[in-house]
Amino acid sequence: MTAECNRIAYQLACTINGEAWYGDSFQEILKDVTASQAQAHPVPSAHSIWELLCHLDSWVKFALGAVDGVPIPPWPGMPVELDWPTTTDTSAPAWKHAVDSFFSHHLGLVETIKTFTDERLEAIVPGRTYNFYRLFHGTIQHAVYHAGQVALLKKIRANDINKITE
């Protein structure tokens, strides 16, 4: 049976590109973000939109790998470049690629969860001490948490640009 898996997949899909209960989905938040906005650090001690997007993409790839039996790298001690990949190319095409990768991997996870069985949700995630149920819900929570940060960074950046042009 996959009833619970379908509910989890639906929640992740709503967070990424659907009608999210909490506000705008990632698709809505990112729809007009430029490469310049994405790489900006309007809050000096905070990550950029681009960095947040790549971080989320990394963790979704970890989840996809775990479904196939690949252990998620240990925490703590995970190399920072696995958790927070660096971006060297900050061009518009590179930003488009990062966004496309983010959506592709997240929607791939949605489809993977749909084919998961409810019984398998109790299985332990390779490299972790918790089960797939927690991993999948945690992935949704992780996306929601960072969606709020991205939305705020976007708003701060827009306000900064408006001040410059006034």
Cα–Cα dist 143/43, whole Å: 20
What is the structure's pLDDT at 162?
A: 45
> Per residue in 84-119, pLDDT tens?
999 999 999 999 999 999 999 999 999 999 999 999
User: Is pLDDT of 165 > 60?
Assistant: no
Note if the pTM is more than 0.85.
Answer: yes
pLDDT tens digits, residue range 80-91? 999 999 999 999
Residue 14 structural domain: 3-165
- Domain count along the chain: 1
Nearest partner of 102 among 38, 161, 7, 153, judged by Cα = 38
CATH number, position 20: 1.20.120.450
